Amino acid sequence: TQLLEQSPQFLSIQEGENLTVYCNSSSVFSSLQWYRQEPGEGPVLLVTVVTGGEVKKLKRLTFQFGDARKDSSLHITAAQPGDTGLYLCAGINSGNTPLVFGKGTRLSVIA
Amino acid sequence: DTEVTQTPKHLVMGMTNKKSLKCEQHMGHRAMYWYKQKAKKPPELMFVYSYEKLSINESVPSRFSPECPNSSLLNLHLHALQPEDSALYLCASSQDVGASGTYEQYFGPGTRLTVT
């Protein structure tokens, strides 16, 4: 059973468009992290959300943590080719458990 | 500084070879991790070290042998690997493990391993 479901799996859009990526679970997470990974490189941490309902902005990226801490979304405004990559959400579930990863959303922004 | 370094960047080895992957962090983190990532898949956890002791082994075959010589270094010793072990091997570190905090993980750039 996949604890974290990401959607969509693949997304191809034109430069300048907006998009939203979702990360959903039936479990409560004490925190959720979003990473971006480019081919052949390690994931780069974008943001961590901890409080239910929290919204964080990173330039054109807006991250939201659901009120019940079971889901999160990433919204990109005016996407650019440099946003292309694999976006991974990952969460700490409970107890002394390690990070749980979603399967990722592969984004392609076409110039 | 949130840098985790890994060497080598690329490695090609035969099935009878013995090689090692190295990972280093100087953030004072007490938890270090090895992940394996196949193409188009998310990272899969292999091992977790907490305070230099192995705390999690996700049923990884014994041909992979981790070692944590000190709090800044993590090695992965490879012996008698199979072609299906070819993947991107990622090292990560975090301040600690556990749910009582955010404990963000910082990843290295990975070692691209090819087993021939």
Q: Give the pLDDT of residue A92.
A: 82
Phi, psi of A38 (to 5 degrees): -100, 155
Q: Which residue of A has its CA nearest to B87?
A: A40
Q: Give the pLDDT of residue B47.
A: 95
Q: What is the DSSP string of chain A?
A: --SSEEE-SEEEEETT--EEEEEE-SS--SEEEEEEE-TTS--EEEEEE-STT-EEEETTEEEEE-TTSSEEEEEESS--GGG-EEEEEEEE-STT---EE---EEEEEE-
Residue B104 — very low, low, confident or very high, per pLDDT cuts 50/70/90?
A: confident
Cβ–Cβ gap A103/B112 under 8 Å:
no
Write the pLDDT tens digit of every residue in A21-71.
999 999 888 889 999 999 889 999 999 999 999 999 999 999 999 999 999
Residue B103 — very low, low, confident or very high, per pLDDT cuts 50/70/90?
A: confident
pLDDT, greater one: B91 or B101: B91
Residue B99 — very low, low, confident or very high, per pLDDT cuts 50/70/90?
A: low
pLDDT higher than threshold 80 for residue A95: no
End-to-end CA distance of chain B: 36
Cβ–Cβ gap B48/A98 under 8 Å:
yes
Which range among A15-29, A94-108, B80-94 shows the weakest confidence by mean pLDDT?
A: A94-108
Best residue of B56, B102, B106, B114 to probe chain A, by most A CBs closer than 10 Å:
B102
Write the pLDDT tens digit of every residue in B7-22.
999 999 999 999 999 9
Over range B24-34, report the average pLDDT. Answer: 94
